[in-house]
């Protein structure tokens, strides 16, 4: 899943009048073009669902970063899932898909996460887009409107924009869950979701295959300032590991992003950056969620060395987020500045 072939495409305007909306229904039997009878599907997501999702905003380390999503089969197996039949032709989706869901939950505050994946004939599930909604903000991000337990509600979740080609023989999959740890902080209480299959649907922005033979757009040459002269002292490295305790149900995810150490020759400066992140949760207890980040930056010349280290710890109880932050600065190994923050922030619909 390192790369897929692709090409540049162009549209004369956006939204493009050439993109056609294709609707498929989330039936009890899977994705299909016609709605079947309504069936209630009940689902309780594991608090550890989301371990294959990568980071919310991957950046910085290029090919060595483990930030991107990996094979989604594990998370798919913990979600409500709808598959299409194997495609008989290419399906090119360009734009923002939308999930129109009729659902109810048993808690006043809850998230719904939807993932669109491309399922290969061998079963590999590649995430191509996703979206999420805090149901208590379904009327707008400026107001909190708690859900009424058990009351069916129609919602629309707009997924991230994409440009992706589903190949013949592949399946389109939509997965729905109420958790996505550690990308989404869990609701204070486990959420039971009831979804009306047959009354819910997915809208895909489809680019006609007749446009495939258009010439690719031509870009002007890249313009940029010449890069400064640098050399690598310690190469960057990264790792993402997950430890699961089968007895306690505790999951621990550890992310190390070491940007290495490099030298900027023009200003005689060595630079180093690193981040260590830990995310822990127990499968059936959202209030055990805890995240910890340690960021370290160093600058160094022959007779001078400074470093800054920040540590942030995030937890929550049923009413508040609990945030502990510390910053320490050192010069030539001696402390020159330290500060600590201890904050509680009301959850307010979260």
CATH class belonging to 20-210 = mainly beta
Token digits of residue 262: 């490099």
- For the segment 257-266, the average pLDDT, to the nearest whole number, is 95
**Cβ–Cβ contacts within 10 Å for residue 67, how many?**
17
Q: Which sequence spans correspond to the domains of the chain?
A: 20-210, 230-346
- Grouping H, G, I as helix, E, B as strand and the rest as coil, residue 136 is helix
Report long-range pairs for 305-310 (Cβ below 8 Å, ≥24 apart): 305/331, 305/332, 305/333, 306/330, 306/331, 306/332
Q: Considering the entire predicted model, what is its pTM?
A: 0.93
Q: What are the pLDDT digits (tens) for 287-315?
A: 999 999 999 999 999 999 999 999 999 99
Q: What are the pLDDT digits (tens) for 88-109?
A: 999 999 999 999 999 999 999 9
* CA–CA dist 202, 209 (Å, integer): 20
Residue 68's pLDDT is 86
Q: What are the pLDDT digits (tens) for 149-204?
A: 999 999 999 999 999 999 999 999 999 999 999 999 999 999 999 999 999 999 99
Q: What are the pLDDT digits (tens) for 3-56?
A: 778 999 999 999 999 999 999 999 999 999 999 999 999 999 999 999 999 988
As a dihedral over the C-alpha atoms of residue 200, residue 55, residue 140, residue 317, rounded to 10 degrees, the angle is: 100
Residue 61's pLDDT is 56
Q: How many angstroms separate the Cα of 186 from the Cα of each of 41, 110, 202, 216, 289?
A: 21, 8, 25, 44, 8
């Amino acid at each position: 899943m390192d790369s897929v072939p692709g090409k540049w495409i162009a549209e004369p305007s956006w939204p493009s009048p050439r993109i056609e909306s294709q609707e498929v229904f989330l039936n009890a039997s899977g994705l299909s073009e016609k709605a079947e009878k309504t069936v209630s599907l009940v689902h309780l997501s594991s608090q550890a669902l989301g371990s294959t999702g990568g980071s919310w905003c991957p950046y910085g380390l290029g090919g060595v970063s483990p930030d991107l999503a990996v094979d989604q089969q594990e998370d798919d197996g913990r979600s409500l899932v709808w598959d299409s039949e194997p495609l008989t032709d290419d399906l090119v989706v360009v734009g923002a898909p939308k999930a129109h869901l009729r659902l109810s939950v048993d808690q006043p505050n809850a998230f719904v996460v939807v993932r669109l994946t491309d399922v290969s004939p061998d079963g590999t599930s590649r995430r191509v887009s996703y979206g999420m909604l805090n149901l208590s903000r379904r009327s707008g991000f400026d107001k909190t409107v708690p859900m009424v337990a058990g009351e069916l509600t129609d919602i629309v979740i707009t997924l991230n924009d994409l440009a992706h080609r589903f190949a013949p023989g592949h399946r389109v999959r939509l997965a729905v869950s109420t958790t996505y740890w550690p990308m989404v902080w869990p609701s204070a209480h486990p959420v039971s979701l009831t979804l009306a299959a047959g009354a819910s649907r997915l809208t895909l922005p489809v680019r006609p295959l007749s446009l495939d033979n258009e010439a690719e757009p031509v870009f002007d040459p890249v313009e940029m300032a010449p890069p400064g002269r640098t050399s690598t002292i310690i190469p960057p490295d990264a790792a993402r590991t997950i430890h699961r305790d089968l007895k306690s149900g505790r999951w621990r995810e550890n992310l190390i992003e070491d940007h290495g150490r490099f030298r900027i020759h023009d200003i005689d400066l060595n630079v180093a950056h690193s981040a260590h992140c830990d995310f822990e949760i127990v499968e059936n207890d959202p209030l055990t969620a805890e995240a910890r980040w340690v960021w370290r930056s160093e600058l160094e010349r022959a007779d001078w060395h400074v470093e800054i280290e920040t540590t942030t710890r995030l937890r929550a109880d049923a009413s508040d987020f609990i945030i502990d932050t510390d910053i320490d600065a050192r010069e030539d190994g001696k402390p020159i500045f330290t500060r600590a923050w201890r904050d509680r922030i009301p959850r307010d619909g979260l």
